[in-house]
Amino acid sequence: MKYLSQLEDEVSGWPDVSVHLHRFGGKEFRFGRAEIGHVHKDGTVDIPFPRALRDAMVEKGQAEEHRWVPNSGWTTFKIRGEADIEPAIELMRISYLRYASRSGSLAPLPGEERKFQT
């Protein structure tokens, strides 16, 4: 899927993100040792969140409960076409920002620098 490469290119370009093979196939993105999410070859994107945040996202229709561990903080988002790329990136960004803000290394993501200029 060409859409997956767009997601992978974006997320892998964020500061301190490393890319690894995921144990169930696809690619896993980490901030340090913490997984910020992974994408399977079929376009399924799985992202961990604190349970309260995950519940709010599911309630608002931004993500679905994870298909294998629905009673956890994990979410699932399916990329079916080009219109799904930005929402998937936004979900990954939220996960990324959770870890980056804790580490003290929070900086504008590539392409967002101008948003912070006065």
User: CB neighbours of 14 closer than 8 A, spacing ≥ 6?
Assistant: 96, 109, 110
Work out how many domains the chain is built from and give that number.
1
The predicted-structure confidence for 82-91, as pLDDT tens digits, reads as follows: 999 999 999 9
User: Which residue would you say has higher pLDDT here, 115 or 50?
Assistant: 50
With respect to residue 25, please indicate whether it lies within any of the assigned structural domains.
yes
Q: How far is the C-alpha of 64 from the C-alpha of 1, rounded, in Å? A: 21
Domain range for 49 is: 2-103
Higher local confidence (pLDDT), 102 or 104: 102
CATH number, domain containing residue 61: 3.90.1150.30
Burial letters 50-84, b for 16+ CB under 10 A, else e: eeebbeebbeeeebebbeeeeeeebbbbebeeeeb
Q: What is the pLDDT of residues 28-73, one digit of tens each?
A: 999 999 999 999 999 999 999 999 999 999 999 999 999 888 888 9
Q: Provide the pLDDT for residue 35.
A: 94
Decide if 52 is inside a domain. Answer: yes
CA distances from 83 to 26, 38, 77, 91 (A): 21, 19, 12, 14
Assigned domain for 116 exists: no
Residue 25 is predicted with a pLDDT of: 80
